[in-house]
Chain A
Amino acid sequence: MSRLGTTSAPWDAVIVGGGHNGLVCAALLAKAGKKVLVLERRERVGGATLTEEHYPGFRYTVASYVVSLLRPWLWRELDLARHGLQLIPLETSFSPYPDGRSLCRGPDPIATREEIGAFSRRDAEIYPTFGKSMGRLARFVKRFVDQTAPDPTSFRPRDLAQLVGHGRAFRELPDDEEALLTRLLTASATDFLRETFEADELIAPMSCSGIIGTCLGVSSPGTAYVLLHHYMGEIDGASRAWGLARGGNGAVADAIASSAQASGVTIRTSAAVDKILVERERAVGVVLVDGEEIRARTVVSGCEPRLTMLRMVGRDHLPSDYTAGLERYKNRGSSGKVNLSLDFLPEFTCRPGDGHLRGDIAIAPSTAYLEQAFAEAKAGRWSRRPYLNVVIPSLLDRTMAPPGKHVMSIFVQYAPYHLADGPSSWPQHRDAFRDDVLDTLQEYCPRLRDAILHAQVLSPWDLEQELGLTEGNIFHGELTLDQILFQRPVAGWARYKTPVRDLWMCASGTHPGGGVMGAPGGLCAREMLAAGAL
């Protein structure tokens, strides 16, 4: 992307970091008539929503790999369809087991019922009802995702009305769903699922969505909540659908960037911010690594909170309890990525063909397997047999690989940032890590290695170094009960403001958190405009 604009421009807002949230925030501010500059350290925008070609003709959706929670109101306001964004729904969830059996859950309820019935007739009966209840709860939770976090300490009428509104909505749920919701907020993923289901083969892959992005196990309390995110997916209003962006997740960032530029946002890439300038307790601009100073009326950080506040602003400008809160903020990265270019599609022995691969594939054969994987992470090792979430975008999107060839995105958990011999030892372990991942998958797809033309490996250390994800945490901070809503990232500072005046935060480390939602960026812009901040 070319360099537009000049350093002398009197900016209303300068956005640090061109990830999808930074771009959303920029676009909305510009639409309100503000003069906005986005500064991105890398050569292209997108942050962790990124498509790159590392092997000729093969395009990787490098880091984040699915889109599900991108807010519909942002689609509309930013006119993303016109700016080229197209989503392709993921059709199935497939899980193979070591004993040669497998389970494929798909859009056809009758087929899914038969599939689950092979493991438990009872579970097969309950499965659709459970999905419906979860869908209704997801609709309830959406209230929170599309609003600024409530403030339980405030006595202001607006805040009290918001709290009362949430309470009312809760009371309007049927009794059994209220119960389900309270359990969901407090239980572990496995305890929660075991209340309804009995087949471990079903519970194990379902429970995994509870641990993604946290350094917790499927039986750690509080992991059930994230299951709900799985039911919150909405593409063009159709609930319970996760999808891929045509052209990889980089296409999401490109569409938002294009919309932002159409509204007058200036984007500078290869412009790494070194410091946020603070004068008389106000943010007044930024200094780039090359020393260039850019002044603005407000500074908005699209980076991770600890990176923003402790590194770019500095402790000197922060009250000690805020700093303490940030230090307590749990940001433990627990996952890595392996992206593969494949000469051909390696089939699964337990089920040849590709109809069941047009969605996500979970290697999570049992809850005991997942517990063992977590136990290794706690001991400071990556799991020798990790949980894998595999997507083959080229099956659904021909633009990703040459005809007949494929790209495969493998999300790997656990790959703890804090290895026993320190996070910086990751580069020397990268190959061994990759081999364990491939060995794990190869048990189900014996021809996997024969098909590999190129492999890209991203450890949590790489995610931190390359994409600025502190400790490699994909959500800019774990999504646990103590780190959501009014506590994200620091209790009392969940409304995008910071203790430094005119400095705002708009990325996944703020309410409502990580994923390719765009909600933090969007809500931050709303708050800034409502506060008349610029």
Chain B
Amino acid sequence: MSAVVVIGGGVDGLVAATRLARAGRAVVVVEQRREVGGVCAGGSFGGSFRHTGRWCDTVHFRPALAKELRLTECGLRFVPPADSLAVEADGPGIAWTSDSYKTERDLARRAAGDVDGLARLQAWVERTRPVIEALVDAPPTRLEGSAPLTPLVKQALGMRRMGARDMLELLQVGPAAAEDLLASYVQDPLLRAAMIAPSLLGTRMGPNAPHSAGIWLLYEALTGAYEVDGGPAGLVSALHVAAERAGVRFRLGAAARRVRVEAGAVVAVETSEGDLDSRAVLSAIGPRRTLLDLVDPMLLPSRVVREARALRVRGSWAVIHLGLSGPPQWRSRPGVAFGRVHVGASPTELDRAMDDANAGRLPEKPFLDVRVLPASCAPAGQAALTVQLSCVPYHLEGGWTAEARQRLLDRVLATLAEHAPHLPGQVVASEVLTPRDLEAELGLEGGHPLHGEIALDQLWALRPTPALAGYHTPIKGLFLGSSGTHPGVGRTGASGALAAKALLAGA
């Protein structure tokens, strides 16, 4: 039996490869870059600084997968999330530290009812968690064709077990606006902004857009209590070890050029470094690129091609790595170190920033998710930061010229200066990755970190498209398994795992 070729060595590709190898299949991972990890791979910048991945979150990785793939034996370590801070223009901001009593006191001082509101909201999220986890850990029910709806009915019954009241609330919240949902529990706009902004990173919607509450809830319910030590690079390293131990072989620096098809079935993958015969291919790169670039569209039903073309993959996400001569000093909490800092005043401003991005403008007031990287990422005494920006347009008015990239950096530094006045003067190295750069460097179409916009019409049975949901393609032996497939919300690893399962069942 020929080897299964996994195209793309990102998190989902590694998960899929390992699962396949453990099921006894010979597996080759083809990765166009010289290293695995894709958007989660660590790297160096500015000569002496390191980053731990372009995409920063590891809290969504499914714990059950970590267990199944025995990642802790491969060096994975879970740690509690770092202390974080939400800054504001003229005020103390909100700090989340291991001293939760202090955080509560701060919250209560800002808005009397918020501690209670937050607790009620969290309790409700807890109650929805089993329903959402069940949804995420199972392949989507195909709504089309004659496949039985039994799984759907089961899921519906699972929902009913929540009780009528919670179920109705869940059904109502799904299509609502995040701001409407959160505002009914929490008064403080700064708190709401910090809560909502990260969940909209893969969308083009603001917090007042319908359906944003559902997206927020998905992320919230999938957020684990721990993150990976060493960030995304730590996760990638463990996955890489696990894959190698399972016998997965790697072809690094080999870009997949074409999936060769004969009589409707996969026969080989052509790469820049030669061809690999194969009867089974799992593509863990974007579904749109897989179908439109790697496969001859003439071999696909016209509807599949039409839907793939219509798939929205434009990102609104950018990354800036900063090397500082010393640790950042936050004006409202001098001398205190934080691992994560949210910059963004209110949901209204977030909405405006997204409007700017959708109209092709740089946001006046960018929303920043700043990570202060471990000390090992910088020379002694210095500091490395990764800043994730939401609301950055892929199609910028006037194009992403060198001047525009500088303008983005300047705006980010000016924004940071409001909360850490010395920071711009500390910058000794920087790397700016616009959506275009992320596309060029990582092969992310549209610069989208999740290979397809997160929106209700591109989730679950509609992810990547209605005709393609469920990891199969019309080509025998070709499977899709990146986060462009269900579930796709965050780096869960579930897409790769479910795709591997589909391949094993079907091939």
Contact = CB atoms under 8 A, between A and B. Distances in A.
A153 B164 contact: yes
Interface stretch (B78-86, B186-194, B461-469): B461-469
A472 to B, nearest CB: 19
Given A186-B462, A220-B209, A491-B169, A175 B467 contact: yes
A326 B358 CA distance: 32
A220 B144 contact: no
B277 interface: no
B446 to A, nearest CB: 14
11 contacts: A153-B167, A179-B467, A186-B211, A187-B457, A191-B455, A195-B306, A221-B209, A328-B180, A481-B210, A482-B210, A491-B172
Interface residues of B, number: 43
Given A153-B160, A171-B149, A195-B310, A480 B167 contact: no
Contacts of B175: 222, 480-482
B351 interface: yes
Interface string B133-154: 0000000000111100100000
Closest 5 CB pairs of A and B: A179-B466, A481-B175, A186-B457, A153-B164, A187-B457
Contacts of B457: 182-183, 186-187, 191-192, 221, 224
B456 A186 contact: yes
Given A178-B143, A221-B455, 15 more contacts: A175-B144, A179-B467, A182-B466, A186-B457, A191-B312, A219-B358, A221-B211, A371-B359, A481-B210, A481-B211, A482-B172, A482-B174, A487-B168, A487-B172, A492-B165
Nearest to A175: B144
B307 interface: yes
Contact of B351 (A171, A222, A328, A378): A378
Given A171-B149, A186-B456, A487-B172, A324 B184 contact: yes
Given A152-B156, A182-B457, A324-B184, A222 B358 contact: no
Interface in A206-235: 216, 219-224
B307 A179 contact: yes
Given A167-B149, A178-B144, A480-B210, A221 B456 contact: yes
Interface string B409-448: 0000000000000000000000000000000000000000
Contacts of B172: 482, 487, 491
A150 B306 CA distance: 34
Contacts of A167: 149
A375 B455 CA distance: 21
Nearest to B210: A222
B164 A183 contact: no
Contacts of B372: none
Nearest to B467: A179
Contacts of B312: 191
Contacts of B462: 179, 182-183, 186
A126 to B, nearest CB: 10
Centre residue among A152, A194, A223, A368 by max chain B CB count within 10 A: A152
B171 interface: yes
A375 B156 CA distance: 38
Contacts of B171: 152, 486-487, 491
Contacts of B310: 194-195
A493 to B, nearest CB: 10
Contacts of A153: 160, 164, 167-168
Interface of A: 152-153, 167, 170-171, 175-176, 178-179, 182-183, 186-187, 191-192, 194-195, 216, 219-224, 321, 324, 328, 330, 368, 371, 375, 378, 480-482, 486-487, 491-492
Contacts of B149: 167, 171
A194 B176 CA distance: 24
B455 A186 contact: yes
B34 interface: no
Interface of B: 143-146, 149, 156, 160, 164-165, 167-169, 171-176, 180, 184, 205, 208-212, 303, 306-307, 310, 312, 351, 355, 358-359, 455-457, 461-462, 465-467
A186 B312 CA distance: 14
Given A152-B167, A153-B168, A487-B171, A222 B211 contact: yes
A492 B310 CA distance: 37
Centre residue among B164, B168, B210 by max chain A CB count within 10 A: B210
B205 A221 contact: yes
Nearest to B152: A167
Contacts of B156: 152
Nearest to B303: A176
Nearest to B352: A378
B466 A222 contact: no
A487 B208 CA distance: 19
A34 B462 CA distance: 49
Nearest to A195: B310
Given A186-B457, A482-B210, A491-B171, A178 B164 contact: no
A182 B210 contact: no
Contacts of B358: 219, 371
Contacts of A224: 457
Contact of B210 (A170, A195, A221, A378): A221
A492 B164 contact: yes
A178 B141 CA distance: 13
A371 B209 CA distance: 13
Contacts of B465: 179
Nearest to B184: A328
A378 B353 CA distance: 13
Contacts of A192: 457
Nearest to B348: A378
A481 B213 CA distance: 12
A511 to B, nearest CB: 14
Nearest to B170: A491
Contacts of B212: 221
A224 B168 CA distance: 23
A307 B205 CA distance: 32
B209 A492 contact: no
Centre residue among A195, A321, A378, A482 by max chain B CB count within 10 A: A482
Given A216-B210, A222-B456, A179 B205 contact: no
Contacts of B174: 481-482
A160 B25 CA distance: 45
A258 to B, nearest CB: 40
Contacts of A480: 175, 210
A416 to B, nearest CB: 13
